[in-house]
Every structure is written in structure tokens, then in C-alpha cells.
Amino acid sequence: MYIVFFIIGFGASVIGAISGIGGGVIIKPVMDLVSGLGVASVSFLSSTTVLSMATVSLIRSRKSPVNINVKNTSMMAVGGILGGLAGKSLFDIVRTGFGNDKVIGVAQASILFVITLWVLLFYINKEKITPQHHTSLIFSVFIGLILGSFASFLGIGGGPINLAVLYFFFAMDSKTAALNSIFIIFFSQIANLLFTTLSGNLPEFEPVVLIIMIVGGITGGLTGSVLSHKMTNRAVDKLFMIVLIVIMILCVYNTISLIL
């Protein structure tokens, strides 16, 4: 089973590093499907893997011609940290209130399906949409807050919504949006993991599984960064839309499995 955990972490991180979705949006539904772990454990392992991927991707990006929009993206990262804390707090409140992991799992899968479907429709019609170019720092913080809250509550690290938001509100092309998304994910996941650890809500899991997932995240992030440099914006878009469809299929399957 350990090799399965590595494959999940590695594969999701490769795709996450290329497309900027973080990888958690893939890890979460796949782990829900095959791991047999509770939602809190899956969310923690997913966040840790995504942070590992984001770290190596950002280190590798120093040699990339694609740049981070330091001013606005830094403010989105600040918002992402606040949103990450808010989303994690909401997750803990809802989980404690219901006391049933199945209810939380269905809620997460359903919300993720709706978000993913919206993003897919957005990208299908992307050429018909005129992007905006916001420069307000307050607006950037607000956007980061929303993105961080969703990512943390759903346990997906970043998610597909980042790319659509960065394209629409900040006129970023696919590869630029991917790198800036990873930058935001990096800070929101640090906040999420610190909050989980310091609050004493660390879920149960085998330490070896955590190590394997981190190794998968690091190697996947390195591999994805290399592949990203060789891909065009159009190729990144195609990969992104394929991933969205797969995610929606997994969400539907997991929701039905939890209900039944």
C-alpha cells in the first residue's frame, strides 16, 4: 500500500507543479477513494504533500523566465494565510458539530464538484472572456482570503479555482498563473499546518505514510517544474481541463460511496 501513497503524492504533485492547482485537489479525492483514512487525516497528508511540492517548485522557479507578480501575489498570499486559518477553523467546527466524517466527506466532495465544474466551464469559454487587470492591494488580500478559505476547508491545498481567478482578475497567462498560484498555496499551507499542529488537532496517521507522501511531493514537484518549462500555455490548459474532468468523476464516485 505504501507504493500507492507514493504514486498518489508523486503523480498529483507533477500535475500540480505544471498546472498550479497544487495537487491537493487530486490527492484528496483519490485518498478518500483508496486509503481508508478519515477526512482529517487525508486533509493533513494532502496539505503536507502540497507544501512539499510548492517549496521545491518555488526554489526551481528562480531559474524560470516566468515571474511572480510580487506586489499583488504577496498580498494574495497574506489573504491566503488568513483564509487558511479561517477555513481550517470552520472545518474543525463543522466536523465537531456533526461528529460524522461521512457528512463532512459528502460536503467536501459536493462543493469541490461544483467549483471544478464552474472552472471547467470557465476554461471552455476562456477565449470569449476578457480578463481584468486589478492592481488594488486590498482587493488582492480579499481574493487571497477567499481562495485560502476554500482550499483549507476542502483540504485541497490550492485547487482549480486559483487559476481561473488569477486569469480573470489579474490577466495572467496559464504558466504565470500556475507559478503565482503555487506561491499563494505555499503560504496558505504553512498557516494551515501550523494551526493544526499548534492547536493540538493533529489527526492519526502512520509516520511512514507522511514521509512517503512528502517524498512524493518533493520528487513530483521537481519533475513537474522540469516538464513545465518544456510545455506551452496551450498544453498546460489542455492538461488542466483533463484533470478537472477526472476530479469531477472522482467527486461523484466518492459522494455516492459515502451516501450508500
Q: Considering the chain, what percentage of its residues have pLDDT values greater than 70?
A: 98
Q: What number of residues does the chain have?
A: 260
Task: Tell me how far the alpha carbon of residue 26 is from its chain's centroid.
Answer: 8
Look up cell 497574506; give the residue: 78
pLDDT greater than 90 at residue 211: yes
Q: The cell 526551481 sits on which residue?
A: 60
The answer to whether 68 and 183 have CB atoms below 8 angstroms apart is yes
pLDDT for res 11: 92
Residue 197, amino acid? T
Each residue of 45-89: pLDDT tens digit? 888 898 898 898 888 877 777 778 888 888 988 988 888 788 878
13, 20, 130, 204 from 40: Cα distances, Å:
20, 23, 39, 8
147-160 pLDDT, tens digit each: 888 877 876 766 67
pLDDT confidence of residue 157: 61
Domain ranges of the chain: 2-259
Q: How far apart are the first and last CA of the chain?
A: 25
User: Across residues 83-97, what is the average pLDDT?
Assistant: 80
On the 0-12 / 13-18 / 19+ scale of CB atoms within 10 A, 189 is: buried
pLDDT value of position 159: 65
Cβ 13 vs Cβ 173: under 8 Å: no
pLDDT band at 223 (very low <50, low <70, confident <90, very high): very high
**Predicted local confidence at residue 9, as pLDDT:** 92
pLDDT of residue 126: 83
Residues whose CB is less than 8 angstroms from the CB of residue 38 and which lie 6 or more positions away in sequence, other chains included: 101, 203, 204
Contacts of 129 (CB under 8 A, 6+ apart): 122, 168
DSSP letters for 13-69: HHHHHHHSS-SHHHHHHHHHHHT---HHHHHHHHHHHHHHHHHHHHHHGGG-S----
